[in-house]
Amino acid sequence: MRLVAALLLVAGLSACGGQERDAGTIAGPGRAPEVVAAVEAGRTSGEADVATLAGGTRARAPRQILFGDLHVHTTYSTDAFFFSLPITGGEGAHPPADACDFARYCSGLDFFALTDHAVSLTPEQWAAEKESLRQCQARAGDPGDPDLVALAGFEWTQVGPTPETHWGHKNVIFRELADEALPARPINSLSDELATAARDARDRIGVGTAILTLVDPLGWREYADFRWYLDRLTSLPRCERGVDTRELPPDCVENAPEPTVLFEKLEQWGFDSLVIPHGTTWGIYSPPGTQLDKQLSREQHDPGRQSLIEVMSGHGNSEEYRSYRAVFPGPDGAPLCPEPREDFLPCCWRAGELMRARCGDRPAAECEALVEDAKRYALEAGIAPHLVFPDTRAEDWLDCDECRDCFKPAHGYRPAGSAQYALALSRPDPADPDGKPLRFRWSFIASSDNHTARPGTGYKQFARRGVMTDATGARSAFYDRLLRWSQERRHRDWDPSRPNRLEDVGARFIGADAERVTSFLYPGGLAAVHAEGRSREAVWSALASGQVYGTSGPRILLWFDLLNGPAGAASMGSRVSLAEAPRFEVRAVGAFVQQPGCPQESLSALSPERLEQLCRGECDHPSDVRHPIGAIEVVRIRPQRTPDEPLDDLIEDPWRRFPCEPDPGGCVARFEDPDFAAAGRDAVYYVRALQEPTPAVNGANLRTEFDAEANALRTRPCYGDFRTSPDDDCLAPVQERAWSSPIFVDRAR
């Protein structure tokens, strides 16, 4: 009788149906001009202090440093919606309006962009999101001197099952907010096969949400809305291929399966836009063996639009190159499992060791054959080697495929997707009139990739679980068993020969790695611009010209200049040609030490309930004391002369290191490259400013313990579910940092 009653309850709740989520209501007004002026005064005083250390000189005309976040999701993104559901311990909906209030009064940003997944946005949501951003901007005061600049965009989220078909994720940002200056539709990356599979899965989605309602009837409204949302997405008509984007109907789903198609469509619209690759080292979705090489072509890379790369987000660092790989190509082209090194344990190798431990009394030859099978199956599984043993837990895989010595690394690190690897690549370019090679000449930013409409989460290291990071998970052992049952069911049906089936795509994202990834989620980074003012035009001009840098969250002030450029001093992001040794100057000032709570302007602008909902009672609240800069590191990269030149010796990290005195006034370093002229080759230089060590969320990642020979013995993952207390922020000391954009110094030809 109880089962019958439960089924009747589910049927009754399901009959009520779901509904569209609105964009929410912005609660706070614009910040007062005197509040903004006080923030700017703090940055100006930092510049004055470090100028004193530099002997009172200034390399170039001063600009304002502004901080923002160009990578923010609301629950208009499918993954954000799912992780907001009760089964994952989510908080519920976070609509676009939350981002505006959070940026103003929690994180105190100067600019931000919404970048919900294009594949997740219905026409109604795209329209509502643009209108919410316009409402946010309307409260900003004088357009020539606003307190906040709101930008519209979307994420082109491409995932390929093999390195050859994988292009990765890119945020597309637009300069203006008016309807006539924005695309009628976001442009997604779904292949025909996946789009068809999504439609075919509607009935299974309905069954899944019914099961969720059965096991959690109090959350029926959330599950019903989620079902309605997915039904709406899968019912939209697809746009006709090969038709100019301006001639398509506004309510169809527009696809660009490769970057070249995306760039073509953006060119057809003709709007000012930026395309920003991100997550280029993330193993959570990048197949082993993925490299950026194939994207360095006139077809797949648009240097005019794709001039920035995100080197850090709440999903980790994508800056650093390492020589190890998770897989190597064999003589016949088949993937080979590499042996472990002191600094790297391949997951395919770990799969073999797990099999060895299960051999029991089997003969040695039979056991070794099973070990080799396990390695091969792990390689075939791509991003989901854990599917070889679906009964394993995260601890069983130790720290396989992770970077052991990277700063806040991305999970399952893919070194050949790193920014350093990209800057070292070079290809002949017959189309260039001067005979210069084709290269990625990217400037660096960082952002958050937050999925709860919270731009700029890195101002304080707190509220790890589902608030300041994306770490979420089953709220109890019962829900954990339900999710694992779903994983095992998908595993039984998993077919590596059909990588585009919806079930197989889902299977690759569920299981042990989904558990381990929560130890690699952080409060996000920030994008910083050197701008000539606070206006939209000034912010956009700085972004488009590469006058930018990134931080891991703190508001570190950073200047990096070439002193002897052909036209005088040249700032970060510049491209110059020289015949003599380049000379550089770096200035860095640490971020203000944070005070607890929120400043008075936040307490006055938002209700206590709104502050608690969005900020958890903690805002950007700087004191007048700064963290000292501990060191300045210089990275030199000498791009390839030929496409087959090995990269390992071309990336020098660090090339120079300058320890800094513990002076809150900042640190200054000057250096030159005496080898440049004699080497006769181009070079790329950028710097990192490292603060003194401070506690950081997931600063020790899996908290791996090693033996004397550097073999991993055990891990203590920082879970996003019930197994780690929501009050445990898994803090460990790190040196927060800022990355300058590179200065590209070509040899004078």
Phi-psi region of 2 (alpha: psi -120 to 50; beta: other; left: phi over 0): alpha
137: nearest Cα among 147, 128, 126: 147
Whether the CA torsion 452, 161, 345, 413 is positive or negative: it is: negative
What is the reported pLDDT for 52? 78
Indicate the pLDDT class of residue 6, thresholds 50, 70 and 90: very low
What is the reported pLDDT for 8? 39
Residue numbers of the domain that contains 485: 6-323+415-702+704-747
Q: Which of 45-49, 334-338, 688-692 has the lowest mean pLDDT?
A: 45-49
Q: State how far the Cα of 526 lies from the Cα of 528, in Å rounded to an integer.
A: 6
In a domain, 354, yes or no: no
What is the reported pLDDT for 221? 86
In angstroms, the Cα distances linking 514 to 383, 508, 627 are 11, 9, 35
Q: Which of 87-96, 267-276, 480-489 has the lowest mean pLDDT?
A: 480-489
What is the reported pLDDT for 390? 82
What's the number of domains the chain is made of?
A: 1
Per-residue model confidence as pLDDT tens digits over 549-568:
999 999 999 999 999 999 99
- Decide if 312 contacts 552 (C-beta within 8 A): yes
Token duo for residue 667: 């640190």
Q: Which of 83-92, 577-586, 697-706 has the lowest mean pLDDT?
A: 83-92
Token duo for residue 244: 């100019």
What is the reported pLDDT for 417? 98
State the residue for tokens 């035009």. Answer: 537
In a domain, 246, yes or no: yes
- The average pLDDT across 202-213 equals 67
Would you say residue 201 has pLDDT above 70? no
Would you say residue 510 has pLDDT above 70? no
Q: Which of 72-81, 91-100, 203-212, 335-344 has the lowest mean pLDDT?
A: 203-212
What is the reported pLDDT for 500? 40
In a domain, 334, yes or no: no
What is the reported pLDDT for 58? 61
Would you say residue 90 has pLDDT above 90? no
Would you say residue 3 has pLDDT above 60? no
Q: State how far the Cα of 518 lies from the Cα of 411, in Å rounded to an integer.
A: 9
pLDDT greater at residue 652 or residue 498 = 652
Per-residue model confidence as pLDDT tens digits over 311-325:
999 999 999 999 999
Please name every residue paired with 178 in a beta bridge, in sequence order, or none if there are none. none
- The average pLDDT across 327-334 equals 83
What is the reported pLDDT for 57? 63
What is the reported pLDDT for 542? 98
- The average pLDDT across 370-397 equals 91
Indicate the pLDDT class of residue 499, thresholds 50, 70 and 90: very low
- The average pLDDT across 624-642 equals 97
What is the reported pLDDT for 502? 39
In a domain, 332, yes or no: no
Classified as helix, coil or strand, 576 is: strand
What is the reported pLDDT for 492? 52
Per-residue model confidence as pLDDT tens digits over 268-282:
999 999 999 999 999
What is the reported pLDDT for 345? 97
What is the reported pLDDT for 18? 81
In a domain, 688, yes or no: yes
Would you say residue 507 has pLDDT above 70? no
In angstroms, the Cα distances linking 735 to 378, 430, 471, 521, 551 are 35, 44, 22, 17, 11
| Percent of the chain at pLDDT exceeding 90 | 74
The full 3-state SS of 458-505, as one line of letters, equals HHCCCCCECCCCCECCCCCHHHHHHHHHHHHHHHHHCCCCCCCCHHHH
Q: Give the chain's mean pLDDT.
A: 90
Would you say residue 86 has pLDDT above 90? no
In a domain, 139, yes or no: yes
What is the reported pLDDT for 207? 64
- The average pLDDT across 404-422 equals 97
Would you say residue 177 has pLDDT above 80? yes
What is the reported pLDDT for 597? 97
- The average pLDDT across 535-540 equals 98
Indicate the pLDDT class of residue 482, thresholds 50, 70 and 90: low
Would you say residue 662 has pLDDT above 60? yes
In a domain, 360, yes or no: no
Indicate the pLDDT class of residue 59, thresholds 50, 70 and 90: low
Per-residue model confidence as pLDDT tens digits over 708-717:
998 999 999 9
- The average pLDDT across 479-493 equals 59
> Which residues have a Cβ under 8 Å from the Cβ of 41 and sit 6 or more positions away?
none
Would you say residue 11 has pLDDT above 60? no
DSSP state of 382: T
Would you say residue 491 has pLDDT above 90? no
- The average pLDDT across 287-311 equals 96
In a domain, 402, yes or no: no
Q: Cis before residue 415, ω within 30 degrees of 0?
A: no
